[in-house]
Amino acid sequence: MAGRRTRALAGTLVTLVVGTSALLAPPASAHGPGGHHDDAARFAKQVTTRGVWRHLEELQRIADRHDGNRAALTEGYEASARYVERTLAKAGYHTKRDPFTFDLEVVDAASLTLSTGESYAVDQMQYAPNSPETGVSARASVPVDPTGCTADAWGDVETVGTIAVVSRGVCSFAQKAVTAEAAGAVGLVVYNNVEEMLFGTLSTEGLVQIPVAGMPMADGLAVVEAVTERGATLTLDTRFHTEERTSFNVIAETRAGRDDNVVMLGAHLDSVEEGPGINDNGSGSAVLLEVAVQLAKQKHHHNTVRFAWWGAEELGLIGSTEYVDELATRPGELDRIATYLNFDMVGSPNYIIGVYDADESTYEAPVDVPEGSAQTEAVLTGYFDRIGQPWVDTEFSGRSDYQAFILNGIPASGLFTGADDIKTDEEVALFGGTPGIRHDPSYHTAGDDLANVSREAIGIMAPAVAFATASLARDTSAINGVKGPGKPGHHPGPGRPGHPGKHHGHGPGGEHRHLERAS
């Protein structure tokens, strides 16, 4: 799941924490499109945990052989792609590499140095300007209200010409930055309210003219102590430049099925640089791969099924965005896609069974939700209801590769077992596990290895992906009016009822810069 970002990814979708409902979501209809549940249920049984696990083991071996990761632009990613391609070719698919070029953001400086000698790592917030080449040096200011959200938070503290040091919380990073600059600060450091680096965004270009950075909570509190008790001054140095790079997605589709009605499924193949990424997102990639392998044995289905293993997701959803943007330049190509399903982290060790809340029954989405998305979600929730599996809604927030699809009016939903949110007592009652810790305690770390993946979660999610694939391969009538074989009122061609038309997507971006949260 995206933990990095592209500078060109505009603030249309402010990235939010992917949450879960506190209670079991109300059951959706148990009937997917066409009512061919028995066939889809039989196919679901063919996609097994054992089959998925073989792919996960290979992805772990690849990471082990390539500096412990499978990140974009590395040999580990290339080896991961070759494995997917070999496996698909053996199953009978013709695969295609879909290349894209983008501007990679390369960090030149990311430090906060104190006059007392200490130096701390920081992360330049998205859309914050570079500092001067030598950094900006000034005495520090700390507000009376640590969050620094309003002018009143500063009280009588002198802020003009200072580097402001504030805590995360209460308001957005953008508001903190605007408030600090208006008070005369020449820089802003926001420290986290949890024990990890703060990767933030100001959500839009040109909001302020001062450098803004995030840092971990413990480091931030140490800086506050040094400032308030020892009078330390600060030097904030945060700079980056861009370099053009090229990566690729891996695309494959079934030989069978009508070409004017395509069901598309995707999972990002790259990891972060910090670790092997076996849950994020080896789990989604492996499930998708096993579904594709088993689907190739089904010689007859009504709709084309297209699979995508996305590149450079962890650098800012780049591969999927570039793919959709390119399709948008070709008349009718986006209209061929009936719906898109995304699978990013489906094996979290402290898992939930989450379905993207496309019908907004629990969470209001921060974008217009394309028509047909709720019906796509209902295929997944209907399957869980049929087998008596509890599930919860997760925010339809655009934090993964479905973002470009929904921005371009394509229906979407997907599955998710949790990332960095804290598991609640209510979730434990539904799914077991440990309350008070993250759904994936090893999220974006070196610990995201094979031991970090829950076999139980895979055993629930893999058949659900398979069921949805088989069901939609036969009939998407509930989503776009295209009937399955032998059904009356067969839709004569592509397109979605009430389709809002195409919108411009967003372009590429960079490295070592994280797409996380705006507050």
For tokens 């099924």, the residue is 305
State the pLDDT confidence band at 518, using cuts at 50, 70 and 90.
low
Task: Identify whether 98 is part of a domain.
Answer: no
Q: Please report, in angstroms and rounded to a whole number, the separation of the first and last CA atoms in the chain.
A: 18
Shared domain check, 450 and 311: yes
Query: Mean pLDDT across the stretch 16-43?
Result: 51
- Give residue 485's pLDDT: 79
- Give residue 37's pLDDT: 81
Shared domain check, 456 and 347: yes
Integer-rounded Cα radius of gyration of the chain: 23
d(CA 52, CA 55): 5
Query: Mean pLDDT across the stretch 106-133?
Result: 96
In this model, does residue 6 exceed pLDDT 80?
A: no
CATH code of the domain covering residue 286: 3.40.630.10
- Give the residue from 189, 219, 241 where a domain finishes: 241
In this predicted structure, which of 22-31, 33-42, 213-222 has the lowest mean pLDDT? 22-31
Shared domain check, 129 and 174: yes
Task: Identify whether 306 is part of a domain.
Answer: yes
State the pLDDT confidence band at 500, using cuts at 50, 70 and 90.
very low
d(CA 236, CA 471): 55
In this model, does residue 5 exceed pLDDT 90?
A: no
State the pLDDT confidence band at 20, using cuts at 50, 70 and 90.
very low
Shared domain check, 326 and 217: no
Shared domain check, 174 and 66: no
Shared domain check, 405 and 453: yes
d(CA 5, CA 405): 17
Task: Identify whether 1 is part of a domain.
Answer: no
d(CA 155, CA 143): 7
- Give residue 27's pLDDT: 36
Q: Which two tokens stand for residue 485?
A: 């074989």
In this predicted structure, which of 26-30, 78-82, 488-492, 506-510 has the lowest mean pLDDT? 506-510
Q: SS3 of 91, please?
A: helix
The letter for the amino acid at 448 is D
In this model, does residue 269 exceed pLDDT 60?
A: yes
Task: Identify whether 489 is part of a domain.
Answer: no
- Give the residue from 187, 209, 241 where a domain finishes: 241
d(CA 83, CA 385): 35
State the pLDDT confidence band at 486, using cuts at 50, 70 and 90.
low
Mean pLDDT for the chain? 88
- Give residue 487's pLDDT: 62
In this model, does residue 494 exceed pLDDT 50?
A: no
Percent of the chain with pLDDT over 90: 82
Q: Write the Ramachandran bin of 148: left for phi over 0, alpha for psi from -120 to 50, otherwise beta.
A: left
Task: Identify whether 425 is part of a domain.
Answer: yes
- Give the residue from 207, 241, 275 where a domain finishes: 241
In this model, does residue 508 exceed pLDDT 50?
A: no
Contact 15, 454 (CB under 8 A): no
Shared domain check, 333 and 471: yes
Shared domain check, 199 and 262: no
In this model, does residue 392 exceed pLDDT 90?
A: yes
- Give residue 1's pLDDT: 78
d(CA 506, CA 488): 40
Q: How do strand 119-121 and strand 187-191 relate by DSSP bridges?
A: unpaired
- Give residue 101's pLDDT: 97
In this model, does residue 510 exceed pLDDT 50?
A: no
Q: Which of 58, 181, 273, 313 is catalytic?
A: 313
- Give residue 2's pLDDT: 66
State the pLDDT confidence band at 519, using cuts at 50, 70 and 90.
low
Count of domains in the chain?
2
Shared domain check, 425 and 326: yes
Instruction: Indicate if 426 belongs to the active site.
Output: no
For 18, what's the count of Cα atoms within 13 Å in the CB-facing half-sphere? 31
**Mind giving me the DSSP string for 313-370?**
GGGTSHHHHHHHHHHHTSTTTGGGEEEEEEE-----TT---EEE-TT-SSS--SSPPP
Shared domain check, 451 and 306: yes
Task: Identify whether 3 is part of a domain.
Answer: no
Prediction pTM value: 0.82
**Mind giving me the DSSP string for 385-413?**
HHHT---EEE-----STTHHHHHTT--EE
- Give residue 33's pLDDT: 42
- Give residue 133's pLDDT: 94
- Is the omega angle on the peptide bond into residue 192 within 30 degrees of 0, that is, cis? no
Task: Give the model confidence (pLDDT) of 133-176 as tens digits.
Answer: 999 999 999 999 999 999 999 999 999 999 999 999 999 999 99
Minimal CA–CA distance to 118: which of 260, 224, 245? 224
- Give residue 195's pLDDT: 84
- Give residue 194's pLDDT: 86
In this model, does residue 179 exceed pLDDT 90?
A: yes
- Give residue 8's pLDDT: 32
CATH code of the domain covering residue 130: 3.50.30.30
State the pLDDT confidence band at 303, using cuts at 50, 70 and 90.
very high
Shared domain check, 115 and 84: no
Q: How do strand 136-141 and strand 233-253 relate by DSSP bridges?
A: antiparallel
Percent of the chain with pLDDT over 70: 87
In this model, does residue 376 exceed pLDDT 70?
A: yes
d(CA 138, CA 365): 41
Task: Give the model confidence (pLDDT) of 407-437 as tens digits.
Answer: 999 999 999 999 989 999 999 999 999 999 9
Contact 252, 39 (CB under 8 A): no
Distances (CA, A) of 424 to 19, 279, 352, 421: 11, 21, 10, 9
Shared domain check, 334 and 272: yes
State the pLDDT confidence band at 398, using cuts at 50, 70 and 90.
confident
- Other beta carbons within 10 angstroms of residue 490's beta carbon come to 12
Q: SS3 of 494, please?
A: coil
Query: Containing domain of residue 40, as a range?
Result: 33-93+254-480
Task: Identify whether 282 is part of a domain.
Answer: yes
